[in-house]
Structure 1
Amino acid sequence: MTTHHGSCHCGRIQFDVDGDITAAVSCNCSICQRKGSLLWFVPRSALRVSTPESDIASYTFNKHVIQHRFCPTCGMHPYGEGTAPNGDATAAINIRCIEGIDLDKVPVHHFDGRSK
């Protein structure tokens, strides 16, 4: 298993996440389409955020079940937090915010979040 380091654009939000990136999801819901995120879903326990909670902004919409986390300084959205359908705590990592990966080598699956 690999540990990846990531951050927002200005570096205010820093995180490490454990796991192997085998695929990402591109969602067309109203927020994901605008953000352009490529999401990698991991157990919440695999994500370690080193930034104090008070320095991270959060946004929810629609059913208010996903905490879309973003930097109040640069506006970047490195991850989200929620609950998987099976009830497990989950993190959705924006792999565009992870250092040193070749995005062209990550298979992208398209998810129709607009219809959900």
Structure 2
Amino acid sequence: MKTYQGACHCGRIRFEVDADIDHVRVCDYSVCIRRGALNHRVARDRLRLLVPWTHLTLYQWGSKTAKDYFCPVCGILPFRRPSDPTPQELREGVEPFDGWAVNVRCLEGLNLDTIPMKKIYGSRIEHDS
């Protein structure tokens, strides 16, 4: 396990994360494509924010179970709380996740060329009415 230092582009948001980054997740959902984040999931207690939470802005949509935290100055999303599984996903055996998805593009000293990418097909998730 390694401790990484992370920050948004302007440095207003700073954090640390303990992780063994053996892959990143790349999602094809509309907001994920536009954002371009490469996420790695970690347990809730593995992320430590080094600035007040008031420095962040929260964005939510749809089911409002995902929490996307971003810097209001430079617009970078350093980490997020993933959404709860949809009813379809629960039927398919997807387990709820109570941790963080860290945008590894915000971490210092990480060579992205050496990390395998796992495709996530968020665009295929059906939302029950």
**What's the TM-score, normalizing by structure 1?**
0.94
SS of the counterpart of 1:110? Answer: strand
Structure 1: 5+ residue runs without aligned partners?
A: none
Letter in 2 for 1:92: A
Over the residues paired in the alignment, what is the CA RMSD in angstroms?
A: 1.3
Aligned to 2:105: 96
Q: Is the 8 A contact 1:28 1:111 kept in 2?
A: yes
How far off is 1:82 after superposition?
A: 3.8
Match of 1:64 in 2: 64
Note the C-alpha offset of 1:4: 0.6
Aligned to 1:64, the other structure's residue is in SS state: coil
- 113, 117, 120: which is aligned to 1:111? 120
Q: Which runs of 5+ in 2 are unaligned?
A: 85-93
How is 1:1-116 mapped onto 2 (pairs within 5 angstroms)?
Answer: 1-82=1-82, 86-116=95-125
The TM-score, its normalising length taken from structure 2, stands at: 0.85
Q: Comparing both structures, which one devotes a greater share of its residues to strand?
A: 1
Q: For the Cα contact (< 8 Å) 2:65–2:82, is it kept in 1? A: yes
Distance 1:75 1:58 in 2: 11
What's the % identity of the aligned pairs? 36
Q: Distance in 2 between matches of 1:38 and 1:101?
A: 12
Post-superposition offset of 1:15? 0.5
Partner Cα separation in structure 2 for residue 47 and residue 10 of structure 1: 19
